[in-house]
Structure 1
Amino acid sequence: MRIRCKPWAKPELEACPFYISDPKACKGQWQAQFPKAQPLRLELGCGKGGFIAQEAPANPEYNYIAIDIKNEMLVLAKRKLEAAYAEQQLPLDNVRVMIDNIMYLRECFAETDRLDRIYINFCNPWPRGKHKKRRLTHPRQLVQYRMLLDGEIWFKTDDDELFEESLEYFPEAGFRITTMTRDLHSEPTLRYFETEHEHMFDEMGKKIKFLIAEPDPSVSEESLRELLQYSEKYSERKR
């Protein structure tokens, strides 16, 4: 889907107190961007903010960073966050939003910026063979997250092929899958805040796939470093 240009989006974001205009300058010191240090959670590809605007105010004991690549999307997430916190009469102090190309995530995060959880909700499935390396769940991406992560990745999608191939990607990148379902909405104990896409796909009768993965302690640091090095070389070629 082509996103229509919104010339007002960037100025509105730059005037926002919880917008991070220079993420690279925060590398190694993300906790300093919040009033207090708390476990840090990341949403990759937050879109219009339907998920983060529910998740962050409901969990004030965590700090959140929501990332998207488009000003036009992130500004809508910013507005949703403002509305959600205002409705609940809460201080908007545990969430930050930023623009970034997630392929180069490690340019903005150091290994000292430990993450408690990463959310990947309905990312682009990139179905064409030569484009699959752009997937947010491709091993070249997952190994970047692995080097920052103390906790879990929560991944949701409606796309069958992406999900089935991601079941192979996670172990390749040093993760073990601890929870998995091909029909999330049939398992109420696993359901959590829904995104706009999830609601739309549910109404269409499409089953939502979901998994939780965590770092596999049996995978050696050496093998992870080798995969990370390969990932970074690929990213350099894409510039």
Structure 2
Amino acid sequence: MLQGMIHSIETMGLVDGPGIRTVFFLQGCPLRCSYCHNPDSQKTCGGNLMTPQEVVALARRYRPYHQSTGGGVTFSGGEPLMQGEFLSQCLTLLKADRFHTAIDTSGFGPEKWMDSILTNTDCVLMDLKATDSETHLKLTGKPMTGRLPFWRRLQAFQREVWIRHVVVPGFTNNHHAIDALFHQACQIKTVEKIELLPYHKHGSEKYALLGLEDPLADTPAMDGPQTRQWEIQLMDRLAAFKAKQPANAPMVPKAS
């Protein structure tokens, strides 16, 4: 019987997709993000075992909240694509039961299940760790090219996409990185939202509890108002750009 490793569950999530959502955080991630606030979710063992049928049964308990708010079920992590077969089966069963589905992903995972996963996903929350290869390697320990198989599929995705990006002082808190983020977001025709998340220090205590070294111990928290200002500017630029595009035109802006 197929089972997935579940790191944790949030039954009334408000930030991982539209509406109130039941969020399943899956265990395991190939990245080692310096700002990860759940480093215990990175390892590929541990967590609680659940079958896809058990995932659906739990989600059904919160269906009234989903229906009244336009919510549904989100799979996050860790990196949910790393448990591709389990994720695919969960999404297939949830869509058959008329749930709105979302995945929060960095795009890193086996290609084998990506098409099935996207077929049964209503909203993709795409987490762009960095906009250039050097910074991506420094922040995550992995080359940016690892997301390309998923990114290419996302360019043909016909449903809603949110772009997410953590702004980290000394790495991505500059106009060049923010401008590059806009140009990458414009490669996806169905992007509806760009979310900039300011790096915070909330995960520092967890590193200490786990006996781990905090890679960004000397990095200050990102300024929230500045992050919000950039986010507003990005959304304004995105809206203006999309308004100028002819129907069926490729979403690729000219370099600035």
TM-score of Structure 1 vs Structure 2, range by shorter chain: 0.3 to 0.5
Q: Tell me the TM-score normalized by structure 2.
A: 0.39
Greater relative CO (CA pairs within 8 A, separation 6+): 1
> TM-score normalised to the size of structure 1?
0.41
